[in-house]
Chains A and B, each alone.
Chain A
Amino acid sequence: MTTHSAISATGLRKSFGDHVVLDGLDLDVAPGTVFSLLGANGAGKTTTVKLLSTLISADGGSARVAGHDVATEPDAVRASIGVTGQFSAVDNLLTGAENLRLMADLHHLGRADGRHRVADLLDRFDLTEAAGKPASTYSGGMRRRLDLAMTLVGSPRVIFLDEPTTGLDPRSRRGMWQIVRELVAEGVTIFLTTQYLEEADELADRIALIDHGRLVAEGTAAELKRRVPGGHVLLRFPDAPSLEAAARDLGQVTRDNDALALRVPSDGSVRALRDLLTRLADRAIEVDELSVHTPDLDDVFLALTGNPKDEKVAS
């Protein structure tokens, strides 16, 4: 299993002084998939990326990226990866085009090849117009796009994206997501860290929740959501008698008398909804409004990592 993984890690440990950041982390990422490491600030996401991208060395455990051991073959790992993140960046004094050309030169692309690659990437990332301006004048979204474009110059097989959309406006964030989807379609493996549940839900094939340097859960978004109860249907009634009748009839419900609402546990499937509505119609109970709530990753995250306030202190 391990030999075919794009990224695998066993028992990774890392401490800075007394502070244990990673406490025995195991990972396994299949090639050509998006794997998302999800956690609050200070949970150990960036440290994991630094370890896997050979920026720092682990205190214990081992990891392989693109088939190479990060501790014993760091150069082979570096030749196969690209890193874009909070700590990886662009040269502010150079223009966008010069930044890309710098990468092309460092990957020893020929003059013509390099020029083509730079022009393609500028075009693909919508930076052609700003190509001649210094990167220091770029907006946040443009910088991230340039950053990712620089990572792609060397056609890496494994890409680490460390919080690629933190601080971006919603439109830039969606643009970044689109780019990630295109990369995966080309067969690249993406290791994505994020503190946004929505982002992991949108992009990731598998999601790992990390808390205090340990994995607390791992699976597909659907698998994780199933682990947490909380799906329900919210019914709103026109008057108190309707509410009363429905509550009596449906049994196990949570009442909100002031809002004239009932919370009925449900998996949110069409069949369950149809049964519920038929039942209410049979009793001639009037319903004003109905909304379905499936558990989202927020519920999963809060349920599995405990008190979110502790996280903020730890970060």
Chain B
Amino acid sequence: MSTATQPLRFYPLRDSATMLRRNLKHMLRYPSMTVMLVGMPIVFLLLFVYVFGGTMGAGLGGESAGRAQYANYVAPAIILMTITATIQGTAISVAMDMAEGVIARFRTMHIARVSVLTGHVIGSMVQALISLAVVIGVALLVGFRPSAGVGEWLAATGFLLIVTFALVWLAVALGQVSKSVETASNLPMPLVLLPFLGSGFAPTDSMPAGLRWFAEYQPFTPIIETLRGLLMGQAIGANAWLALGWCAVIALGGYLWSKKLFNREFSG
């Protein structure tokens, strides 16, 4: 056998593109998950606009208080919820994937290992973009009237992609750390609930002291405020930097954690 040591090359981009195609095909073959994930924020949107909207809108105060004003208030939170729903799907599909024998096959192959994970990350971002388009479309139909111009919309889209990128890496780690698909669907639940415990559905100054403190300092509040600022033409202030800082921390942490989990000893 030849023992000559030729340099072994890796092709992370090419392998990631291959894995992305694999994940996109999975989504096409298993559309019920995509439908469920985009359905959840739409149900919440309809619930909050039509069931709670009248009362909640009155509570916001101001001369034009009412359902229409609440639709504008709650839409950014629902948009963010679209992302958290998508990453719940990411965690589930990563956990399902890790239980499949084909992952063991990938581990015995000379490929760029991270491509298994980047395939999921980019696939989820594509899915998130589609879901976001659908949810924003429905929001516009039920009375969401953003004041954003083209520039603000582009900035908002870029910002949403950054938020998605960060949360998806976290979800990839959560999916790997889960021993079962059930755990994988439960672990990201706090992320789905966090917008409620922030400025997503009600202003933080209406909350009791302890909760208010938490709501103001948790990552979703600056994220929602930045998005609200971009779409509704309000002042953003330091929120943008806080939000981007949180995203950087979450993305880096999620990436390092995911990589560590994927490289741990195979135990299948």
Contact = CB atoms under 8 A, between A and B. Distances in A.
Contact of B1 (A66, A78, A92, A93): A66
Contact of A55 (B1, B8, B11, B266): B266
Interface stretch (A100-108, A239-247, A271-279): A100-108
A83 B108 CA distance: 7
Given A66-B1, A67-B3, A102-B22, A81 B108 contact: yes
> Max chain A CB contacts within 10 Å: which of B14, B102, B266?
B102
B2 interface: yes
A57 B107 CA distance: 13
B268 interface: yes
Contacts of A92: 100
B32 interface: no
Given A6-B1, A87-B101, A157-B1, A108 B11 contact: yes
A71 B3 CA distance: 15
Nearest to B102: A91
Given A54-B108, A98-B25, A106-B18, A89 B266 contact: no
A64 B110 CA distance: 16
B1 A150 contact: no
Instruction: Determine the main DSSP class of A at the interface with B.
Output: loop
B11 A93 contact: no
B3 A3 contact: yes
Contact of A76 (B5, B29, B101, B106): B5
A150 B105 CA distance: 10
**Interface size of A as a range:** 35 or more
> Max chain A CB contacts within 10 Å: which of B3, B14, B109?
B109
A90 interface: yes
Interface residues of B, number: 29
Given A55-B266, A76-B5, A105-B18, A93 B25 contact: yes
Given A4-B1, A67-B1, A157-B1, A89 B22 contact: no
A72 B105 CA distance: 20
B1 A76 contact: no
B265 interface: yes
Interface in A116-169: 134, 150, 154, 157
Contact of B105 (A4, A5, A67, A88): A88
Given A55-B107, A67-B2, A88-B101, A94 B25 contact: yes
Given A56-B265, A108-B11, A154-B109, A88 B104 contact: yes
Nearest to A31: B1
A89 B102 contact: yes
Given A55-B266, A76-B8, A89 B29 contact: no
Interface string B104-133: 111111110000000000000000000000
A53 interface: yes
A225 interface: no
Interface string A1-16: 0011110000000000
A79 B101 CA distance: 19
B29 A134 contact: yes
Nearest to B268: A87
B26 interface: yes
A115 interface: no
A86 B21 CA distance: 26
B131 to A, nearest CB: 20
B15 interface: yes
Interface in B11-28: 11, 14-15, 18, 21-22, 25-26
B113 to A, nearest CB: 10
A78 B25 contact: no
A76 B15 CA distance: 18
B104 A93 contact: no
B110 A89 contact: no
A212 interface: no
Contacts of A5: 1
A55 B104 contact: yes
A108 B2 contact: no
Nearest to B97: A91
A50 interface: yes
Contacts of B107: 54-55
A75 interface: yes
A67 B111 CA distance: 19
A78 B22 contact: no
A75 B8 contact: yes
A157 B29 CA distance: 34
A75 B8 CA distance: 8
Interface in A1-42: 3-6, 31
Contacts of B29: 93-94, 134
A82 B22 CA distance: 20
A214 interface: no
A45 interface: no
A68 interface: yes
Contact of B104 (A87, A108, A134): A87
A289 to B, nearest CB: 50
Nearest 7 A-B pairs (CB), nearest first? A89-B101, A79-B110, A67-B1, A105-B18, A67-B3, A78-B110, A55-B266
Given A87-B101, A88-B108, A98-B25, 19 more contacts: A50-B266, A54-B107, A56-B265, A75-B8, A75-B110, A78-B109, A88-B102, A88-B105, A91-B22, A91-B100, A93-B29, A105-B14, A105-B18, A106-B15, A106-B109, A108-B14, A134-B29, A154-B109, A157-B1
